[in-house]
Amino acid sequence: MDMQVSFLDRLFDSGLLIETGVDGLYGRSGQFEDVIAAFERLIDRIGGGDGAEAIHFPPGMNRAYFETSGYMKSFPQLAGTVHSFCGNDHDHLSLLQCMEEGKDWTKEQKATDIALTPAACYPLYPTVAKRGPISMDGGLFDLQSYCFRHEPSKDPARQQLFRMREYVCMGTEAHVTTFRQTWMDRGVEMMKSIGLDVEIDVANDPFFGRAGRLLANNQRDQNLKFELLIPVTSQTNKTACMSFNYHQDAFGQKWGLSLTDGSVAHTACVGFGLERIALALFAQHGLDVAAWPEPVRKTLWG
């Protein structure tokens, strides 16, 4: 009988996630947050010695940077922008009237200077570009942000507002590809240390439309994106809990990121899906954290 109840319903019933009436938009309990905090401390222990510069951006970014990033070319279906009422007294009255009549009151809203952050690393590239050339030792950054993607779903692992922890590396091709490989190895070890079944596979981003098909194939053929997969809601359809992305010099070109020898910087980023990792732990070890295997508890909480 219990098998009929979806994982999402069990998460609601246990209070770990809190319904809001919108698919993919949930509250998180203290217990859920405690698991994420413990996992982030594990990330700190593994990556803390690398000397990354920590920067936390809010979940909204400069819309001008968002436009330059080209996100609307590749993923228009996922984007979110912030709009606000910018009218006068008269406009306010008609707005209220519109709401009263159950009509679309949002049409008169104007785009603000803020777009919702689609991935934790997006605000970083223009920020670093403004600082001038990157030293030949490379740049390493440690980011965490809530991210928005318009992909409503009943799958608890596909949320519309979720957190991404990222390490971003900028430097020579050799430097950033080594960084990516190091984190693929570390990621596998980390997940094993908390009792999760892992698998790494080549992947692609969901580029929009017919032209996007080509971009996706190209990304795959060139091994530019790998995912670390863990069973969350299904044993056969595993969930990407980390991704390892090599951008070649595409972001370097786009943002004018250069190295001190004048060459264009290559970049790579490694992202942890924090909610997905917490959900993988709950799926694997049960909803009662006190009953998790002792070695897992020890790795997470010491």
Distance CA 27, CA 21 (A): 11
Asked if 241 interacts with ligand ATP (CB under 6 A), we say yes
Nearer to ligand ATP, 71 or 162 (CB): 162
3-state per-residue secondary structure call for 248-291: CCHHHHHHCCEECCCCECEEEEEEEEHHHHHHHHHHHHCCCHHH
Binding mask 149-188 for ligand ATP (x = CB under 6 A): x-x-----xxx--x-x------------------------
Asked if 275 interacts with ligand ATP (CB under 6 A), we say yes
- Span interacting with ligand ATP, options 190-198, 215-223, 236-244, 251-259, rule CB under 6 A: 236-244
- Span interacting with ligand ATP, options 10-18, 36-44, 131-139, 241-249, rule CB under 6 A: 241-249
Query: In angstroms, what CA-CA distances link 296 with 185, 196, 225?
Result: 19, 10, 29
Asked if 145 interacts with ligand ATP (CB under 6 A), we say no
Asked if 240 interacts with ligand ATP (CB under 6 A), we say yes
Asked if 80 interacts with ligand ATP (CB under 6 A), we say no
Give residue number: closest CB to ligand ATP: 273
Binding site for ligand ATP (CB under 6 A): 119, 149, 151, 157-159, 162, 164, 205, 240-243, 271, 273, 275-276
